[in-house]
Amino acid sequence: MADIEVLVTLGLLSGAIVLFVTEWLPVDLVALGVVIGLLVSGILPLEEALAGFSSPIVITIAALFIVGGAVMETGLADTISRQIIRFAGNSQLRLLVMIMGTVALLSGFISDTGTVAVMAPAIISISRKKNINPSRLLIPLSFGSLLGGAMTLIGTPPNIVVSDLLFENGYQAFGFFDFTPIGLTLLTAGIIYLAVGGRRLLPDHQSSTQLQRVESPEELMKVYKLKENLYRLRVRRGSPLIGKSLLQSGLRNEYGVTVLEILRRAEARGGARLPEIPLLGIEPSTGTKLSPSDELQADDLLICQGDLNDIGHAAAILGLAVQPARAADQKSLVNNEVGVAEILLPPRSRLIGKTLVATRFGSLYQLTVLGINRPGIENSLSLKDTPLQFGDILFVQGPWKNIQSLTTQRRDFVVMGQPEELKGTPPHSKMILAGMILVAMLISLLAGWLPLATTTLIAAFLMVVSGCLNMGQAYNSVDWKSIILIAGMLPMTTALEKVGLVQIGSDWMAATLGSWGNIPIMAALFLITSLFTQIISNTATAVLIAPVAFSLAVKLGYQPQAFLMLVALAASTAFASPVASPVNTLVMGSGSYRFKDYFRVGIPLILICMTLTILLLPLLWPLG
């Protein structure tokens, strides 16, 4: 029976790893499948299989997402990053150092993905102003966030995972700054590497698209050739569109024509309509603007954007007269009330995998998508049939207030460039309040007044109660995919220990490497962990390998702290692949990076981190 349980557990683990690598299924769904498999097979009882969902690790990480969300929503993170980067001056070397130092500082306390999402638009803007290709700065931004997360207990989930494992086995859990000496050393080494020798390895790509290198609406309109594709369509008498609303017209879905504005000429006194000829010369200021739900009438004027062939096809079928756009039409697209912006889809966006039609984007957000840009693809993508992907950039047009509302939905959107029209004065009192709660949380963690989960829960609660973010924003700030992934994989470690696979793994490593000494063992453990973290989540890697490392240390007669910290640090070295970490993927399109760019720059950094880790950890945490 025991052999069958071993085979079943190995099968579930192997299947999960294959699905993580291939991404045939979402990672959170895979984790739930692991839980179900352990339940159905009888390897774990119900209480143990579902224990991950009540684990202090999961509660702590969820609370930290909310705290980080408040820091983002109040503008505190953005203010800190912009102020620090301002000191970089005109030196590219100093700029690189400041970028890595800033993102590392923020990532030590809040989500590295959120930090990069906040800082990336500022970095791209700076690179444009200083005439530096973004590819020279965005890998340092990504790698700096990964190294910064390794510096504190709450900086990255693997640190929390290994600390909790120590506590569960009767050892003193890691303190808040226990990771800082080695983490700061690795960060310093990473900065020196990328600022000196690594600079030669950093790619110097011209962006395949200039989308994210502009921030003013006028520049965006030039990039997307909006003015060149702008036309007027007049509804002729007898057109089948008369009596239909724009939503019923099919212009967007059937003909690929986007209507940006509907105008109806003013009526003369007494209710008589003005003659038809002056209509052709009306400017937006002299007509009445209609909503998409209003029924169209003869002589209504549609200001449209689209390919000339699509415009001509729609005009011929639907009885519309084509007129060239006028200067006033262009001005009506971007003014104090309406404008254009680019919206990046982050890793957790709920739009991923769906088409714009399926998401009901226009009706839900009251914005019009004029184009989809996908890194590495130059051809225009269908607005109707294209399933959206992580990293896609939507070019949207509509009221500034509706664009502004997207900035509060950080889970689904990142508003790129931050046009001046969106830059309101952040609520200073909320920013200060969020900073005070964050500092109080850190002081409590340092002093050890309360357990980690309790402290972070209180901080998250205070962030919501104080109004730094509302409940909707709090829910949106939590990366539920990561939460379910962790909760689903934690029972796998229980199963691995229960059926004896952890013991088997540690016995094999001890028998194979035990006679070589602690340095080769630590090097092998580091490389195995780093390899896993390039292909599956760093958290899942820590969850799976930490128990083996703990058992190996105990078997060899070592104190386990150094081995577990090594696993956590190695899990943060997601440098060699664009899919190893969301932050790597987040900057891939902006920097026009290829897979080999990460491999070329990341492999030496992994080896540097491994060397420093295995040399310094036994000094900081003696093995004997």
Q: Does residue 462 form part of some domain?
A: yes
Alpha-carbon separation of residue 476 from 346, 354, 441, 458 (angstroms): 13, 19, 21, 18
Where do the H-state alpha helices sit in 196-307?
217-223, 246-249, 251-255, 276-279
CA end-to-end span of the chain: 38
Of the candidates 515, 506, 574, 504, the one whose C-alpha atom is nearest the C-alpha of residue 539 is 574
The answer to whether residues 279 and 302 belong to one domain is: yes
Task: Work out the percent of the chain whose per-residue pLDDT is above 70.
Answer: 86
* Sequence-ordered list of residues with C-beta below 8 angstroms from that of 169, at least 6 positions apart, any chain: 550, 560
Given a cut of 90, whether residue 454 has pLDDT beyond it is: yes
The answer to whether residues 491 and 603 belong to one domain is: yes
Quote the pLDDT of residue 433.
93
From 7-21, 107-121, 201-215, 235-249, the region with the lowest mean pLDDT? 201-215
pLDDT band at 217 (very low <50, low <70, confident <90, very high): low
**pTM score > 0.75 for this model?**
no
Quote the pLDDT of residue 569.
96
Burial of 41 (0-12, 13-18, 19+ CB in 10 A): middle
26-67 pLDDT, tens digit per residue, is 888 999 999 999 999 999 999 999 998 988 988 988 898 899
More confident residue, 145 or 224: 145
Q: How many domains does the chain have?
A: 4
Given a cut of 70, whether residue 215 has pLDDT beyond it is: no
Listing DSSP states for 420-478 in one string gives GGG-PPP-HHHHHHHHHHHHHHHHHHHHT-S-HHHHHHHHHHHHHHTTSS-HHHHHHHS
* Sequence-ordered list of residues with C-beta below 8 angstroms from that of 564, at least 6 positions apart, any chain: 162, 163, 165, 166, 546, 549, 550, 553
The answer to whether residues 29 and 177 belong to one domain is: yes
What is the average pLDDT score of the chain? Answer: 83
Report the range out of 18-32, 205-219, 407-421, 459-473 with the highest average pLDDT: 459-473
Q: Does residue 217 form part of some domain?
A: no
Quote the pLDDT of residue 422.
54
The answer to whether residues 613 and 585 belong to one domain is: yes
Given a cut of 80, whether residue 375 has pLDDT beyond it is: no
Phi, psi of 243 (to 5 degrees): 90, -5
* Sequence-ordered list of residues with C-beta below 8 angstroms from that of 181, at least 6 positions apart, any chain: 616, 620
CATH code, 406: 3.30.70.1450
423-432 pLDDT, tens digit per residue, is 454 567 888 9
Q: Does residue 487 form part of some domain?
A: yes
CB atoms within 10 A of CB 6: 16
8 A C-beta contact, residue 138 and residue 100 = no
The answer to whether residues 116 and 264 belong to one domain is: no
Cα separation, 8 vs 552, whole angstroms: 23
Range of the domain at 180: 2-49+76-208+479-620
Given a cut of 90, whether residue 332 has pLDDT beyond it is: no
Quote the pLDDT of residue 429.
83
Last residue of one domain, picked from the residues 444, 459, 478: 478
The answer to whether residues 95 and 28 belong to one domain is: yes
pLDDT band at 357 (very low <50, low <70, confident <90, very high): confident
Last residue of one domain, picked from the residues 265, 289, 324: 324
Given a cut of 90, whether residue 396 has pLDDT beyond it is: no
Q: Tell me the mean pLDDT in the region 463-487.
A: 87
More confident residue, 254 or 586: 254
Quote the pLDDT of residue 78.
74
Strand-pair partners of 371: 395
Given a cut of 90, whether residue 462 has pLDDT beyond it is: yes
The answer to whether residues 168 and 202 belong to one domain is: yes
Given a cut of 90, whether residue 145 has pLDDT beyond it is: yes
The answer to whether residues 465 and 601 belong to one domain is: no
More confident residue, 20 or 159: 159
Given a cut of 90, whether residue 522 has pLDDT beyond it is: yes
Quote the pLDDT of residue 92.
79
Q: Does residue 329 form part of some domain?
A: no
Quote the pLDDT of residue 37.
94
The answer to whether residues 45 and 179 belong to one domain is: yes
The answer to whether residues 142 and 62 belong to one domain is: no
The answer to whether residues 369 and 291 belong to one domain is: no
8 A C-beta contact, residue 397 and residue 333 = yes
Quote the pLDDT of residue 323.
85
More confident residue, 492 or 294: 492
Cα pseudo-dihedral 299, 305, 309, 312, rounded to 10: 0
Q: Tell me the mean pLDDT in the region 301-318.
A: 87
Q: Does residue 223 form part of some domain?
A: no
Q: Does residue 529 form part of some domain?
A: yes
Q: Does residue 441 form part of some domain?
A: yes
Q: Does residue 222 form part of some domain?
A: no
The answer to whether residues 81 and 91 belong to one domain is: yes
223-261 pLDDT, tens digit per residue, is 666 667 788 899 999 899 999 888 788 887 788 888 888
